[in-house]
Structure 1
């Protein structure tokens, strides 16, 4: 989700930088640091994913639930903590941000709900190799 946010809202639409409370140059550096962190997280995640596949311990249902829970968690934390509590940036400037805030946070909650439903289903199905009573 960080990659989608950074690519779409920071680079393509130019709506904001990760840190907008300073100069444009500082904002660009903050975007670069966010991009670096997101790429490191993606690479680490792919190595962990590959390790689970190698050990035949991968549960696709659990992986999908984790993906959606992570997407939603990032979006809700970004929307509430970064946008409202820390105020490091807003979704967009020069407009009433209320509809953008609602859309951003509700989309994050929807992703969390999808992840939660998938997690419950995955839990009912059990882990690979696990025998259910």
Structure 2
């Protein structure tokens, strides 16, 4: 894997985390970072969300710094890596936070496992699409 591809993966993981936090935590209000452990403690959940967003910011800044060090990166490698990194974020966060630790679920309620599994399927699809976008074009 090239330096540019690694940088794009890190950047994508941070962007994926921001999309998750902004859309699912804030706009839809389906959960907070710690809502599985502290369902009725909004203060703790807001701190958890803030720490989560801080981690996302650090990933994005690290990805940008790595991209700067990598030099010119082909657009297909950059955007393919961003998609794959977002997918990796979903897979790691989905397995660790949703399934193993129970920190929260995508959406609590009667179909919470279905939402958690759909989050993982989306993550796997993003990895596949990202790898397809990033791969070398075969000359004919």
Say whether the fold is shared (TM-score over 0.5). Answer: yes
* Structure label with greater radius of gyration: 1
Q: Give the drift of 1:27.
A: 1.1
From 36, 56, 59, the equivalent of 2:74 is 59
1:105 and 2:120 matched: yes
- What does residue range 36-47 of structure 1 map to in structure 2 within 5 Å? 36-47=54-65
Alignment match, 1:96: 111
Stretches of 4+ aligned residues off by more than 4 angstroms: none
Q: Bigger shift: 91-100 or 109-118?
A: 91-100
1:70 matches 2:70: no
Between 1-10 and 92-101, the greater mean CA deviation after superposition: 92-101
In the alignment, does 2:45 pair up with 1:27?
A: yes
Q: Secondary structure at the match of 1:19?
A: coil
Between 38-47 and 102-111, report the one with greater CA deviation.
38-47
Where do 5+ consecutive residues of structure 1 fail to align? 126-133
> Secondary structure of 1:62's partner?
helix
TM-score normalised by L of structure 2: 0.76
Unaligned runs of 5+ in 2: 1-15
- Tell whether 2:73 aligns with 1:80: no
State how far apart, in whole Å, the 1-side matches of 2:18 and 2:34 are. Answer: 16
CA shift, 1:81, in A, is 1.4
What residue number does 2:28 align with? 13
TM-score relative to the length of structure 1? 0.79
